[in-house]
Amino acid sequence: MHLSTTAQKQILLGVTGGIAAYKAAELVRLLRAEGAAVRVVMTQAARAFVTPLTFEALSNEPVHLTLLDATEESAMGHISLARWANVILIAPATADFIARLRLGLADDLLATLCLATDAPIVLAPAMNRLMWENAATQENIRCLQDRGIRVFGPAAGEQACGEVGWGRMLEPVEICNQLEWIFQNGALAGLTVLISAGPTREPIDPVRYISNRSSGRMGYALAQAAQEAGAAVSLVSGPVSLPAPRVQEMVSVERAEEMYQAVVSRAIYHDIYIGAAAVADYTPATVAISKIKKQTGETMIHLIKTPDILSAVAALEDGPFTVGFAAETDRVEDYARQKLAAKCIDMIAANRVGQTRGGFESHENALQVYWNGGQRTLEMAPKTRLARQLIELIAERYHAKNPA
């Protein structure tokens, strides 16, 4: 029987004043179904959206509303609540609450609890897309992440205000899944993981380059999952339009040659290397100093091979456990197995690209993972979930190869 790691955990759920507050009711129901004890704290604004009675009924516990409650505070209620929690989960987290948390204000019960706890704090932001994209909110989020606060989501999609974009709260079931992962973490505790992600850009002249459709999402999701699994993560990234995840070291590169240097010089200091970048196989032999003018007839660009990062890392003496990716449009298993053998790597995660679902620019994907003597299928799932499954598998294979 699968026993959830959330079972028997004590979860303090903070509900703040956003439209998504109604979804927090479902979250309480799901967490209790997993076997967790849930106590709810609501901000004053949250009560304009949902009544405390709803949460009281669902959690089977009194709902905590005010800091200056004489009955509770005679026993220092806020401190004992902060101590009770194994985790403080704030869902939805408004832009306002995020700003107050960053400032370290203690002007209501929930903000005070966050200051007075040493339990992990998790935010599930929910707001209009412009509020989310606003520089102030983005800066607040980055600062909180730097302090170790975890942020689940937000997701993109249709919003209550009628707009479409990033800012929707993750669905309660997804929040539960991610929370379970927090309690599970440790699969890579004490290990160092190097990840390369995104595309490379091979310049033709000062304004043109050759690149590919990699979004970097898979590599970034892997960086976050590895970090959550307890690893110290270094991320070498090609140009992508994703927010930088909170990792130990972030290195931005453009060209395949730069990625090669950044990865190979670091690989020896890491236990695991995951090559999730879509590195250009060829680069222009020369880069024109000034813009190449349009010509009347055809033109040619002379391409030369770029260095093979994966093989170079796999060939290192005392090198890391090496995981490669293969994106193929056909004969996925054949090519993946050939690559596994030819490059002498420990594991390969293959995905079929060019399909209607999954692949490069998509938020979801499916993987077929091979290693010497085994294989596993990871079914179509959002890249964040898929990344956690792959990290679990990598941890399993790493520990099988390097028994304690």
Residues that bind ligand FMN (CB under 6 A): 16-20, 43, 45-46, 94-97, 126-127, 131
Nearer to ligand FMN, 126 or 353 (CB): 126
Known catalytic residues?
161
Q: Which is nearer to ligand FMN, 24 or 191 (CB)?
A: 24
Which CB sits closer to ligand FMN, 61 or 107?
107
Closest distance to ligand FMN from the beta carbon of 45 (Å)? 3
How far apart CA 70 and CA 32 sit, in angstroms, is 29
Convert 59-89 to b/e letters by CB count within 10 Å (16 or more is b): beeebbbebeeeebeeeebbeebbeebbbbb
Q: How far apart are CB 37 and ligand FMN at their closest, in Å?
A: 23
Sheet holding 272-275, edge to edge: 249-252, 232-237, 192-197, 272-275, 321-328, 347-352, 364-371, 374-382
Specify the DSSP class assigned to residue 47: G
Exposed (0-12), middle (13-18) or buried (19+): which is 203, by Cβ within 10 Å? middle
Shortest distance (Å) from residue 305 CB to ligand FMN: 50
Closer residue to ligand FMN (CB): 82 or 309? 82
Residues in the chain: 404
Contact present, 214 and 199 (Cβ < 8 Å):
yes
Query: Up-side HSE of residue 201: CA atoms within 13 Å toward CB?
Result: 15
What would the two tokens of residue 248 be?
């130990």
| Distance, CA of 104 to CA of 379 (rounded, Å) | 42
Residue 33 or 161: the one with the smaller Cβ distance to ligand FMN is: 161
